Structure 1
């Protein structure tokens, strides 16, 4: 049976002597843990310093998306839902030290309201069908979304059929996570957001910085952000992310499923988000604050 203390060690009741020794040992361990970087506060600081480090998004000179492009996945928001971006939801339990510091799989994702291009929000458009890097991505073509290498671990945005044991925590819909396997469950495709124009656009190049749907190839469910399901993360209160197609009365997808694969502007100074002028200014401030990046 676990010993529970009802009084402080200064009150000499019960196993008071053992409690005094326990507190003294804890004080001795504190400097050693601090030296090894094992204190909780230091772990959180280490995580944030690395995962919030700015990243340069790709500049698309032709206005199209290409394999190898570094982009952000941004949802412009809707009723009672702010603009948000697909983000790595890593906590201190997601950290690995060997062979090098970074994020380990599996890792959760969320839709964060901090719209800044950083390790946490940057994804690489990755080929799964042998298309060479630099070639154009087309509508309905399979691809993978991979976190950057290094601290983010090069993990794949993954989903699969929901089950009683495997589903989103709040909504109980189809779960979306990050994993280290680039298998079929990590394949996605871009679909035109307007249902009546999909046949016309099938096989055409995908433009950057426009509204599209991102559909999971195996389940055909669209990536979605849920404004009514807020989750607490190390970074802030954020929205739950899932794979689920939300249809309106006209059988068109709702704005929960509308995404913009954002790149940098032609000058490389900031994030391109239509109708969101603050994004470029914020990124420019971020760059000035971190001149070494």
Structure 2
């Protein structure tokens, strides 16, 4: 009976053929690796190029008493404990890129997202230029409380990348895609994103109003009398989104990114029982001084 059971027998020629096929596959992998290396398409090289582009040093505006149009500044939350006490890096509004985008782009673009990250030194990803919100050149003019402005990425030259947010659509969905989201009372907060200036305006994908912001005094009782007064630098204030009338908010939600653990940021109002903004909505516009006025 045992002689009738078929057994798999391979001749030496078949075994040599299988071995040769494995060798060819390994050679193809090596050739593909060398081709990607020669063209600079390896993921490790893309990641190195990404870090070089995003961490390129930027010189902020010279420290001044007030904030001016055309100045390169950082937006920093006044109160947020990002890590242990011995780490003195102040968090700042920053641009990140996710794993999905890094494979085809290593520069700041419309697919990037916004977070709050520790800022050891000013660089491309955590610095913004303040420009006028009325399409006029107001360079070197003082920004005043209630005056609209825009925030553009410092790396964008020809077609500026502007920071914006957008209200939800009729089906309560956001037009800005983000990898992570934060919530208030179960409802998703409005996220932030980047858009090209050429895509903003009448008949375009994004209304120009979505890119506009203005500053208000931290004390609600002083907002009427301070309206039109110069905005001081490195001082606590509230940054409000024009079309939604909601404030820029630092969320106490930690996420893991390519640059390490960072905090989420949104457009949402957080107020106490006295109708004053809580720590999430309190920011300062830093123009190079090491310590702000607390």
CA–CA separation in structure 2 for the residues paired with 1:17 and 1:223 = 62
Structure 2: segments with no counterpart, 5+ residues: 1-14, 84-89, 183-187, 201-207
TM-score of the aligned structures, taking structure 2 as reference length: 0.77
Shift of 1:107: 1.8
Structural mapping, 1:1-293, within 5 Å? 21-61=24-64, 63-78=65-80, 81=82, 83-91=90-98, 93=101, 102-129=107-134, 130=136, 132-150=138-156, 154-162=160-168, 163-166=172-175, 169-171=180-182, 172-181=188-197, 182=200, 183-227=208-252, 229-265=253-289, 271-274=290-293
- The 3-state SS of whatever aligns with 2:147 is coil
- The 3-state SS of whatever aligns with 2:57 is coil
CA–CA separation in structure 2 for the residues paired with 1:131 and 1:205 = 18
CA–CA separation in structure 2 for the residues paired with 1:232 and 1:224 = 19
Shift of 1:151: 8.4
Task: Answer yes or no: is the 8 Å Cα contact 2:46–2:102 preserved in 1.
Answer: no
CA–CA separation in structure 2 for the residues paired with 1:19 and 1:153 = 50
- The 3-state SS of whatever aligns with 2:191 is strand
Q: Which residue of 1 aligns with 2:7?
A: none
Shift of 1:193: 1.2
> Deviation per CA, 1:189-215, whole angstroms, max 9, x where unpaired?
011111111111101110111011111
- The 3-state SS of whatever aligns with 2:237 is strand
- The 3-state SS of whatever aligns with 1:73 is strand
> Deviation per CA, 1:75-127, whole angstroms, max 9, x where unpaired?
1334x555421001124625766xxx732213211100234211111100111
CA–CA separation in structure 2 for the residues paired with 1:216 and 1:195 = 17
CA–CA separation in structure 2 for the residues paired with 1:149 and 1:29 = 33
Shift of 1:158: 0.6
Shift of 1:246: 0.7
Task: Answer yes or no: is the 8 Å Cα contact 2:236–2:293 preserved in 1.
Answer: no
CA–CA separation in structure 2 for the residues paired with 1:203 and 1:19 = 75
